[in-house]
Amino acid sequence: MMTRATDIDESVTGEIEHVPFTDGHPLANAVSIVIPAFNEGKHVADEVRAVREVMKRTGWEFEIIVVDDGSADDTAVNAAATGVRVIRHPRNRGYGASLKRGIAAAAHDWILITDADGTYPAEAIPQLLARAADNDMVVGARTGANVAIPIERRPAKWFLRKLASYLAGQELPDLNSGLRLMRKDLVQRYVYLLPSGFSFTTTITLATACNEHSVEYVPIDYLKRLGSSTIRPRHAYDFTLLILRVIVFFNPLKIFIPLGGFLFLLGLGKFMYDLVKENLSESAIFFLLAALIIWCVGLLADQNAKVASRR
């Protein structure tokens, strides 16, 4: 006899089991804060003090590591004067290299990164820490009420974010925010992919998105930069290539299927036109064969990506 919904004894209730978001082991409330700095002598001490004051109110155990990336000014001296640990590169090696060096030296399993230029408000850090238990990474998304991104950069950032979101198969509110909390073992898993330049954050965002890690985006403000920026217009081109490269590495069909489809439609259209004209051209055959070759290469790349992900 089939049981109707009205026949169920509502006095009998079961326990709701919540599956944790993260696939890793629970980590203690202890975090290493890594601050890369290059020629930030005027601001680094203020940033360190601001982060320290906020962290004292969180109840988390913490350490602060400043990585001076070969600065020509007194960045290292001013940072050391605050009593934090300072690691100094003898020459400039890049934003990503500084982060990797600081993370490698970190004592704790949680890593929080922020900048030394005053753009990311230290007051937003507790919001990220509050979401740690349920995630592998928590990103401070620059979508708050006060976001001081130069207007000339916004079209490029919008295009890159939309491209990355499409290729990753999910919405990415902020592709390269420099304020984020991450598990150290997450960084170590993809360290071979993480570049030494500005695209460190973009790469780890795409890597986590393509591999279904638990990531949460917390809206934060983004303040006007202190000092001059080292971002240049040519970096938009570099970021575009990086996005395509990372997606091809993790999910190549996202690139090869649309590209092959475009060539196939061109070939099919030219073939139909040639039929009407009763003159089959080489270009129609070329486009159709090119589509077939690209699809085959995409399938092989996808197979290699799946094999590599199981290693």
pLDDT digits (tens, 9 = 90+) for 195-216: 888 789 989 998 898 888 999 9
Average pLDDT over residues 120-140: 95
pLDDT at 3: 42
Q: Are residues 208 and 94 in the same domain?
A: yes
Question: Would residue 85 count as lying in a domain?
Answer: yes
Question: Would residue 3 count as lying in a domain?
Answer: no
- In tens, the pLDDT along 236-248 reads 677 777 777 777 7
- In tens, the pLDDT along 23-76 reads 556 678 999 999 999 999 999 999 999 999 999 999 999 999 999 999 999 999
Question: Would residue 5 count as lying in a domain?
Answer: no
Average pLDDT over residues 119-147: 92
pLDDT at 48: 96
Average pLDDT over residues 93-116: 95
Q: Are residues 39 and 188 in the same domain?
A: yes
- In tens, the pLDDT along 112-129 reads 999 998 899 999 999 999
Q: Are residues 260 and 138 in the same domain?
A: no
Question: Would residue 25 count as lying in a domain?
Answer: no
Reduce the secondary structure of the chain to three states and give it as a string.
Answer: CCCCHHHCCCCCCCCCCCCCCCCCCCCCCEEEEEEEECCCCCCHHHHHHHHHHHHHCCCCEEEEEEEEECCCCCHHHHHHCCCCEEEEECCCCCHHHHHHHHHHCCCCCEEEECCCCCCCCHHHHHHHHHCHHHCCEEEEECCCCCECCCHHHHHHHHHHHHHHHHHHCCCCCCCCCCCEEEEHHHHHHCCCCCCCCCCHHHHHHHHHHHCCCCEEEEECCECCCCCCCCCCCHHHHHHHHHHHHHHHHHCCHHHHHHHHHHHHHHHHHHHHHHHHHCCCCHHHHHHHHHHHHHHHHHHHHHHHHHHHHCC
Q: Are residues 104 and 215 in the same domain?
A: yes
Q: Are residues 158 and 235 in the same domain?
A: yes
pLDDT at 196: 87
How confident is the prediction for the chain on average, in pLDDT? 84
Question: Would residue 9 count as lying in a domain?
Answer: no
pLDDT at 18: 46
- In tens, the pLDDT along 267-292 reads 999 989 888 888 888 888 899 999 99
pLDDT at 90: 92
8 versus 154: the higher-pLDDT residue is 154
Q: Are residues 116 and 217 in the same domain?
A: yes
Question: Which domain, by its residues, includes 114?
Answer: 30-250
- Structurally, how many domains does the chain consist of? 2
Q: Are residues 246 and 202 in the same domain?
A: yes
Q: Are residues 216 and 285 in the same domain?
A: no
CATH number, domain at 92?
Answer: 3.90.550.10
pLDDT at 17: 52
Q: Are residues 210 and 273 in the same domain?
A: no
pLDDT at 205: 92
